[in-house]
Amino acid sequence: MPAPTYIFQSTLKSIERINFGFRERLAMYLKQRVERKMSLDAPIDTKVSSVGLDAAGLVAIADIGTVQERTALTGTSSILDIFVLVPGLHLQQKAPGLNAGEYPACGALTSGYVFRVENPATVFYLQRVGETGQLTNVEVKRIEEGTAWYSGLVSRILPGQEKNILATAAYLLAVSWGIAVLVLLILSADWWGVVVCGSLMTARFINFVVIQQRSGLGWAGADEGDERGDLLILLSQDRWVRMKGRVNDLKAVTSGQWLRRESSLEGWFTAIATVIVYLVAALASNVEQFGKILLLCLFVGSAGLLALANTTTKELHMHGCIVRVTGERVKYNRRRDLADALIKETRRDDWALQMGMITPDKNSRDAIRGNAVIT
């Protein structure tokens, strides 16, 4: 039987061995932690299974019109657009083309004058709300400026969506998603990914500045005071819209220019922004695998959120006015029935004659012979 002294000494040696092993492991752990801190390793693990995503940057140049539609519906661009990185962002300056070249005939039911709707953003909105074979009533109102100190700031940051909760929420989520992806790329130390995001934001900023400069109210005709107007607009595909409001407001949304022609300097900056987007498509292959996945999620998620914001936006904001649908649509079996109903209501038919909705009788045919008829 071993002596107690031997047992005590063996126990001490075992404790020393355990203590030495613990100290060795602790020293090794601390050394690894210090080395990790001293190096610039990413704070999050970005190891992802190999998937071919080298062409992920090509998504950025996809021909998607969500940015153009947002620009038309709000009438301008917001500073927060910088963080909304969606495919087709380089096409924002082509927003006036959303009307597909249509400038519909428009008759003033109160005065008999016939002209065309020259604002392509207004035409795009009317194409959205119009229904074939039905008369859609819309109203134009001047946006009242809030008395609170923050009203002006909100209207500048979130133009065209101050009172639309769902559209505003979707838009702000798209903004937050862009910021979140940029932060994740920084934390993962994917500097190529940061360069890609930063380049796209630079292109967005350039377009924001140019749109802001081009979207100011220009010529809109003479001041008509508080006189009210009533317009009938004949769109393609037999969509009919009746627009009411103060004449000055009606002029602001139908006449003149929405986005004026680019100056030479603005054209150069727009070209630079477009080239930046195409360079991003070329440089995106240098991004790490985790960063490519983030970029794809950014493009797809932002496009979906912005499309949701556009879909839930029911009004058009243009030059300080708001255009919205009012009342129920009225269905007519024939366009002549529409003309007869409005002639009976307004007690005049000169606008209908000039728009080609009715034919002149024997007594008035000679009087209007040779006049141009807009059909």
pTM, entire model: 0.79
Give me the pLDDT at residue 36, please. 59
Cα–Cα nearest to 315, from 117, 138, 132, 97: 138
- Residue ranges of the chain with per-residue pLDDT less than 70: 1-57, 145-156, 159-163, 362-375
The residues spanned by each domain of the chain are: 1-33, 56-331
**Best CA proximity match to 135, nearest among 315, 335, 313:** 335
